[in-house]
Copies of this chain bind each other. A is one copy, B any other.
Amino acid sequence: MISTREIKNVKALATRKFRDETGLFVVEGEKMVAEALQSDFEVVRVWRRDEIGEEAMSRISSLSTPPPVLAVLRQKPLQQPAPGTGLYLALDAIRDPGNLGTILRIADWFGIRTVVASPDTVELYNPKVIQSTMGAIFRVSVHYTDLVPFARNVRALGGQVYGTFLDGENLYARPLETGTDAPVVIVTGNESNGISPALAAEVTGRLFIPPYPGGETTSESLNAAVATAVAVAEFRRRIWESR
């Protein structure tokens, strides 16, 4: 059974305001809930369609087809990221929930455990972000922080800050630090405006994903998540190649 008040409260978690007030968020679907239960997130409550009925589930679900199971989880406390060695992603004002989810899947796939996002990046606990991570939310840590001081910190530690730019150097034709000795950050810019000027000034390696064949008119840019994936894959290929 689920009470009217409980239905109201779960539904209210679709709003940023109520998520912020309660520190809770929702995950939906069997796979997502199973992964949540195995993760280090606290699962506050699980609702099953078999128990509460189809109609109640459709009222608390944000999906077009109500799932068999939905869980309410507690958000993790915000922490300041402390860069060590390895690869990091930094997201500069990623606005689209689906893009953020896709980028977290990319990080997860390529073994990047920490993602740093500017405060104006879309909220992690937005239901569309959560669902589009396909579970990566449970394995990748996301920290919201000002990226300029973060990048300066990385540089002070002898690390590198890479970003993709239309006037950058061919990604495939230049050496890349891969994070074995010091932190390496790959910055993903905003979908429309790219990397902000203040952060671009902290970039130590301006990369370019070559559009082939050269010289022809092509799309002005790749989707933010796609450019990130192509860059990360190349960093990981270099690590693999050097072994």
A residues near B (Cβ < 8 Å) are 98, 102, 105-106, 108-111, 133-136, 139, 172-173, 209-213, 216-223, 225-226, 229-230, 233-234, 236-237, 239-241
- Stoichiometry, as copies per complex, reads 2
Residue of B nearest to A102 (CB): B223
Flag if A105 contacts B237 (CB, 8 Å). no
Flag if A240 contacts B172 (CB, 8 Å). yes
- A218 to B109, alpha carbons, bound, how many Å? 5
- A237 to B216, alpha carbons, bound, how many Å? 17
Instruction: Report B-chain residues with C-beta under 8 Å of the C-beta of A223.
Output: 102, 105-106, 225
- A196 to B94, alpha carbons, bound, how many Å? 33
Q: How far is the CB of A162 from chain B (nearest CB, A)?
A: 16
Instruction: Report which of B108, B218, B222 forms a contact with A111, defined as CB distance below 8 A.
Output: B218
Instruction: Report which of B105, B211, B229, B240 forms a contact with A212, defined as CB distance below 8 A.
Output: B240
Flag if B209 contacts A111 (CB, 8 Å). no
Instruction: Report which of B139, B212, B226 forms a contact with A218, defined as CB distance below 8 A.
Output: B139
What would 5 more interface pairs be, CB under 8 Å, given A111-B211, A172-B241, A212-B236? A109-B219, A110-B212, A134-B221, A172-B240, A209-B233
Flag if B240 contacts A106 (CB, 8 Å). no
Q: How far is the CB of A177 from chain B (nearest CB, A)?
A: 16
- A153 to B186, alpha carbons, bound, how many Å? 41
- A234 to B172, alpha carbons, bound, how many Å? 10
Instruction: Report B-chain residues with C-beta under 8 Å of the C-beta of A173.
Output: 240
